[in-house]
Amino acid sequence: MPRPKGSKNKVAIIENVDEKIAAVNAEIEQLKADLKAKKDELKALNKAKIQADKAAAAKKAEEDKAKLLEAIEKSGLSYTEVIDLLK
């Protein structure tokens, strides 16, 4: 049975479209993997930032404590007298 005119072109076009679809699907999968990697990286950076913020807050608290103790010593009052003044 003879092929209808142009059927070879249709097959070639369909194969070409299938190849393009496969290439786009592969690219989408790669982009999904890249996105997941970026999300994991962001999560790690957020954890590091939280730890750094906690460390900075602890350091500031220590500095404030040292300043307060220094101020108490300069005032000439005892710690109990300062506590009584704060009540």
Q: Widest CA span of the chain, in angstroms?
A: 113
What pLDDT score was predicted for residue 71?
Answer: 87
Please classify residue 60 by burial: count the beta carbons closer than 10 Å to its beta carbon, then call 0-12 exposed, 13-18 middle and 19+ buried: exposed
Instruction: Domain count for the chain, please give it.
Output: 1
Handedness of CA 68, 72, 78, 83 (dihedral sign): negative
Q: Is residue 2 part of a domain?
A: no
Q: Is residue 29 part of a domain?
A: yes
What pLDDT score was predicted for residue 12?
Answer: 76
pTM above 0.75, yes or no: no
Hey, what are 64's tokens? 């404030």
What pLDDT score was predicted for residue 3?
Answer: 58
* CA-to-CA dists, residue 85 to 30, 67, 82, angstroms: 67, 18, 5
Q: Is residue 37 part of a domain?
A: yes
Q: Is residue 39 part of a domain?
A: yes
Per-residue pLDDT of the chain (87 residues; tens, 9 = 90+): 455 565 667 777 888 899 999 999 999 999 999 999 999 999 999 999 999 999 999 999 999 999 988 888 888 888 788 888 888
What pLDDT score was predicted for residue 8?
Answer: 66
Q: Is residue 20 part of a domain?
A: yes
CA pair distance 40, 47, nearest whole angstrom: 11
Q: Is residue 26 part of a domain?
A: yes
Q: Is residue 80 part of a domain?
A: yes
Q: Is residue 1 part of a domain?
A: no
Host domain of residue 77: 7-86
Which amino acid is present at 84?
A: D
